[in-house]
Chains A and B, each alone.
Chain A
Amino acid sequence: MLIRLRLISIFFAFAYLVLVVRLFYWQIYKGKELSVEARGQYQAQWSIDAPRGDILSSDGSWLAASADSWLIYASLPDIKEPSKKISEQLAPLLVEDPEDKDALFTEIDRIYSLLTRDNVEWIPIKSKVTPEVKKHIEKLEISGIGYELQEARIYPEASTAAQLMGFVGKDEAGGDIGYFGLEGYYDVVLSGKPGFKARERDASGIPILLGTTREISAIKGVDLQTNIDKFIQLTLDKKLKEGIERYGASAGVAVVMNPKNGAILGMGAYPSYDPSEYWEFGDELFNNPVISNSFEPGSVFKVIVMASALDAGVVKPDTICNICGGAVKVDKYTIETWNQQYYPNSTLTDVIVHSDNVGMVFTSRRIGADILFDYLENFGIGKPTGIDLQGEANPGLRDKGKWSSVDLATAGFGQGVAVTPIQLLTAVSVIANKGVKVTPQVVDKLVGDGWEEDIKPVIGKRVISQRSAEQITTMMVEAAKNGESKWTHARGFRVAGKTGTAQIPIEGHYDEDKTIASFVGFAPYDNPKFLMLVTLRQPTTSPWASETAAPLWYSIAKDFFEYFQIQPEK
C-alpha cells in the first residue's frame, strides 16, 4: 500500500515537473514568438501613404500632381484560365497602341513568360497602370489577377518645362525620389511622411475598440506654388520648338524673368522629354541646359563689360574709340570686327550698336583686368546664381590677377569667358533692374494644409549705379533699333536688347560655322515687365544671331506684348 502511494506520488511529482517544463517552454522560451503569432491573428497594422506635394503654376493650376495608379499582379495559384488566353486578353490593354502589332506580340510574350514562371506564387505584371485601364481589365473578370494601389506622378502639360520640373524616379530601396529640376531640389519638401496604423480586429475584420490602437497620421507633402506663368511657359515651348525647326538648330533654350524680383516666369529647352515616361528617353536630356550647360556668350556679354566700364567711370557713352579704324593686334593675335567693317572714331554707343569687337578691346583695356574681374563677380559671373533648381553648374572665372592682355581683350566681346544661360540672364537683369542684383527664383510659396509660407525675393546689392544702368540701357535700345537685328525689331515697342553670336571652341580653335546664337532683351526698357534670353545652338540657316535668335526673340515677345498689355510708343 505504501509503495503504491509512493509510486502515485512520484508519478504526480513527475507529471508536475513535466508540466512546469512544458509551461516554461511555451511561456518563457517560445513566449515571444507565440505572442507575435497571436498578435498577428488579431492585430492588423498597415502604413498610411503620404501623397507627394503638387507643383502649381502662378495661377494655381497644376504643373505636376500625384494621381492614383495601379499595380496589376497575378496570384498564380488562383489562376484558372490558360496563361496564353490571359496574356492575349491583357496585352491589348497594356500597350500604348494595340494597332502596333510588334509591340502587341512582344507584350503577349512578356505576360505569358511571367505567368508561366516556376516556383513563384505572386508576380507583378505591370505597374503605374491608369484607373481607366484597370477598369477595362476588371471587366474581363480574370480570376487570379489583382490590383494594388500606387501613387503616380502626372504632368498635365506633358513635356512642357520638363527640364524645369525634373521627374520622380526610384531610389535604391525602391521608394519615390525626385531627380533634377524642382522635383530634385524640393524633394524633401514635396515628399510627405507616411503614417502608420495598428489596431486589434475581430475574426470578421471589425475593429475592437477595447483593444489597443496606435496611429501616426500621414503628413502630405507640401505643394509648391511657382512663379511659372502657364501662358508664358507654353508660348516659350511652342515658339522655341518652331524656331529650332525654322533655323535648323540642334538645340535651344528660352528663359523669361521678371527682372524686378527675379521671378522665373518661364523656362523652355528643346530637345526635351516627357517626365511621366522619363525612362523612354536618354539621360542626356535630363539636365536642364539653362542651368547646366555653359557656353561662351559672345557679343551679348558686351553689355556687361560696357556697363562695368561706365560704372567704373573710365568711359562714357560718347567716349570716342580711337582704335576702331581697323583691326587691333593683341599679343600675337589680331582682333577684327565680325564683318571686317570698321568705324573710325565711333562713340561707345556706336560700338554697342555695331557690336564692334575692336571697340570692346578699347573698353576693356580702359577698365583693366582686376576692376573688370570685380565687376563680373558682382554681376554674378563665375558664381552659381542660387536658383532653386537641382543641377546648377558654375563654369567659373579665371583667377583674379592671372588675366593676360589677350584674356582681357577677348573677355570684352564674350570670348574666353564661359557662362550658363541663367548666369547671363541674371547679369543682364542687373541692368534691367536699374543696377540692383536679384536672385532667380522659381518657387513663390510653399503651401501646406491650412498654412502657406512666402519665399521672399532675394534682392541683392547694387552692382552699378542707376545712372550707369540707364546709360547702358539706352545703348541697348539703340542696338535693338539700329543694330544688325534692326530688320526684325518690333517698331514702336520700347525694347532694349543685344545679339550675340559665339563661335564654339572645338579642339583648341573656334569653328567658323558652328555658332551659338543669342538674343537677350527686356521690355519696356524704362519699366521692364519681362526680360528674356533666347539661345539657339548651331543654327544652320544662318550662323548669325541677328538672323536667327533675334527674330525668334521678337516672335515670342510679340505675344508677350499683348499678354503684358505693353503698348507701342506710337
Chain B
Amino acid sequence: MRRKPQIKISNSKKPFNKKVLFGILISFCAAAQVFFTIGTSALGAQISSFEEEVELLTKENRELEDKLISSTSLIQLRQKAEDLGFAKSTTTYYIEKGESYAMSAP
C-alpha cells in the first residue's frame, strides 16, 4: 500500500499573544483613568472658581440693586429736589383751548 506523501505546512507568523494584548488594554485603561481623573479634578477646580465668580457677581448685583432701590425712593428724590431749591407750584392756572398763556396769567 502506497502511503500518501505528507505535506508539511510551515507558519512563518508568530502565534497571537493574548496576554500581551490584555496587558496593553489594562495599561491603556489605567492611563485613561489617570488622565480623566486629572481632567475631572481640574474641572472641579474650574467649577469652584466659576462658583466664586458667580457669588461675587451676585453680590455686586445685589449691591447695585440696593443702590437702585434707594435712588428710586420718591422721598429721597423729593428731599434732593428741595435741597436743590426746586419748589412745587402752589397755584394752577387752567386755560381754555386756543387761549394763550400770557392772557390767562394775571
C-alpha spacing A218/B72, complex, angstroms: 28
Tell me which residues across on chain A come within 8 A of B47, comparing CB atoms: 207, 209
Tell me if A158 is interfacial: C-beta within 8 Å of chain B: yes
Produce 1/0 per residue, A170-195, CB < 8 A to B: 00000000000000000000000000
Shortest distance between the CB of A407 and any CB in chain B (Å):
46
Q: Tell whether, in the assembled complex, residue B40 and residue A157 are in contact, meaning their CB atoms are under 8 Å apart.
A: no
Tell me if B48 is interfacial: C-beta within 8 Å of chain A: yes
Q: Which residue of B lies closest to A158 (CB)?
A: B75
Q: Tell whether, in the assembled complex, residue A209 and residue B72 are in contact, meaning their CB atoms are under 8 Å apart.
A: no
Q: Which residue of B lies closest to A561 (CB)?
A: B92
Tell me which residues across on chain B come within 8 A of A61, comparing CB atoms: 72, 74
Tell me which residues across on chain B come within 8 A of A156, comparing CB atoms: 69-70, 72-73, 75-76
Tell me if B104 is interfacial: C-beta within 8 Å of chain A: no
Q: Tell whether, in the assembled complex, residue B48 and residue A207 are in contact, meaning their CB atoms are under 8 Å apart.
A: yes
Tell me which residues across on chain B come within 8 A of A62, comparing CB atoms: 69, 72-73
Q: Tell whether, in the assembled complex, residue A157 and residue B73 are in contact, meaning their CB atoms are under 8 Å apart.
A: yes
Tell me if B45 is interfacial: C-beta within 8 Å of chain A: yes
With beta carbons under 8 angstroms apart, the residue of B43, B69, B92, B94 that contacts A154 is B69
Tell me which residues across on chain A come within 8 A of B69, comparing CB atoms: 62, 65, 67, 154, 156
Tell me which residues across on chain B come within 8 A of A492, comparing CB atoms: 94
Q: Tell whether, in the assembled complex, residue B73 and residue A68 are in contact, meaning their CB atoms are under 8 Å apart.
A: no
Q: Tell whether, in the assembled complex, residue A209 and residue B40 are in contact, meaning their CB atoms are under 8 Å apart.
A: yes
Q: Which residue of B lies closest to A131 (CB)?
A: B63
Produce 1/0 per residue, B67-106, CB < 8 A to A: 0011011111010000000000000101000000000000
Q: Tell whether, in the assembled complex, residue A234 and residue B74 are in contact, meaning their CB atoms are under 8 Å apart.
A: yes
Tell me which residues across on chain A come within 8 A of B45, comparing CB atoms: 206
C-alpha spacing A210/B44, complex, angstroms: 9
Q: Tell whether, in the assembled complex, residue A207 and residue B74 are in contact, meaning their CB atoms are under 8 Å apart.
A: no
C-alpha spacing A208/B41, complex, angstroms: 7
Q: Which residue of B lies closest to A64 (CB)?
A: B69
Q: Which residue of B lies closest to A200 (CB)?
A: B44
CB contact list, A39-65 vs B, under 8 A = 61-62, 65
C-alpha spacing A48/B40, complex, angstroms: 25
Q: Tell whether, in the assembled complex, residue B44 and residue A208 are in contact, meaning their CB atoms are under 8 Å apart.
A: yes
Q: Tell whether, in the assembled complex, residue B44 and residue A207 are in contact, meaning their CB atoms are under 8 Å apart.
A: yes
Q: Which residue of B lies closest to A54 (CB)?
A: B69
Shortest distance between the CB of B103 and any CB in chain A (Å):
16
Q: Tell whether, in the assembled complex, residue A160 and residue B75 are in contact, meaning their CB atoms are under 8 Å apart.
A: yes
Tell me if A562 is interfacial: C-beta within 8 Å of chain B: yes
Say yes or no: A230-B66 contact (C-beta < 8 A), given A206-B45, A210-B40: no
Shortest distance between the CB of B54 and any CB in chain A (Å):
12
C-alpha spacing A65/B73, complex, angstroms: 12
Tell me if A282 is interfacial: C-beta within 8 Å of chain B: no
Produce 1/0 per residue, B22-54, CB < 8 A to A: 000000000000000100110111011000000
Tell me which residues across on chain A come within 8 A of B41, comparing CB atoms: 202, 206, 208-209
Q: Tell whether, in the assembled complex, residue B62 and residue A68 are in contact, meaning their CB atoms are under 8 Å apart.
A: yes
Tell me which residues across on chain A come within 8 A of B70, comparing CB atoms: 156
Shortest distance between the CB of B40 and any CB in chain A (Å):
5
Q: Tell whether, in the assembled complex, residue B72 and residue A206 are in contact, meaning their CB atoms are under 8 Å apart.
A: no
Tell me which residues across on chain B come within 8 A of A202, comparing CB atoms: 41, 44
Tell me which residues across on chain B come within 8 A of A158, comparing CB atoms: 75
Tell me if A25 is interfacial: C-beta within 8 Å of chain B: no
C-alpha spacing A199/B65, complex, angstroms: 30
Say yes or no: A209-B44 contact (C-beta < 8 A), given A68-B66, A562-B92, A567-B94: yes
Q: Tell whether, in the assembled complex, residue A230 and residue B94 are in contact, meaning their CB atoms are under 8 Å apart.
A: no
Tell me if A231 is interfacial: C-beta within 8 Å of chain B: yes
C-alpha spacing A568/B95, complex, angstroms: 10
Shortest distance between the CB of B8 and any CB in chain A (Å):
58
Q: Which residue of B lies closest to A205 (CB)?
A: B48
**Residue of B47, B70, B75 with most chain A CB atoms under a 10 A cut-off:** B75
Tell me which residues across on chain A come within 8 A of B75, comparing CB atoms: 156-158, 160, 234
Shortest distance between the CB of A149 and any CB in chain B (Å):
9
Tell me which residues across on chain A come within 8 A of B66, comparing CB atoms: 67-68, 131, 154
Shortest distance between the CB of A25 and any CB in chain B (Å):
34
Q: Tell whether, in the assembled complex, residue A206 and residue B44 are in contact, meaning their CB atoms are under 8 Å apart.
A: yes
Tell me which residues across on chain A come within 8 A of B72, comparing CB atoms: 61-62, 156
Q: Tell whether, in the assembled complex, residue A67 and residue B62 are in contact, meaning their CB atoms are under 8 Å apart.
A: yes
Tell me which residues across on chain A come within 8 A of B73, comparing CB atoms: 62, 156-157
C-alpha spacing A160/B74, complex, angstroms: 10
Sample of 9 A–B contacts (CB below 8 Å): A67-B62, A67-B66, A156-B69, A157-B74, A157-B75, A207-B44, A209-B47, A210-B40, A561-B92
A positions within 8 Å CB-CB of B? 61-62, 65, 67-68, 131, 154, 156-158, 160, 202, 205-210, 230-231, 234, 492, 558, 561-562, 567-568
Taking A62-B69, A156-B70 as known contacts, 12 extra A-B pairs with beta carbons closer than 8 A to each other, sorted by chain A number, are A67-B65, A68-B63, A154-B69, A156-B75, A202-B44, A205-B48, A206-B44, A207-B44, A207-B48, A210-B40, A492-B94, A562-B92
Pairs A-B, 8 closest by C-beta atoms: A156-B73, A61-B72, A207-B44, A206-B44, A62-B69, A209-B40, A206-B48, A206-B45
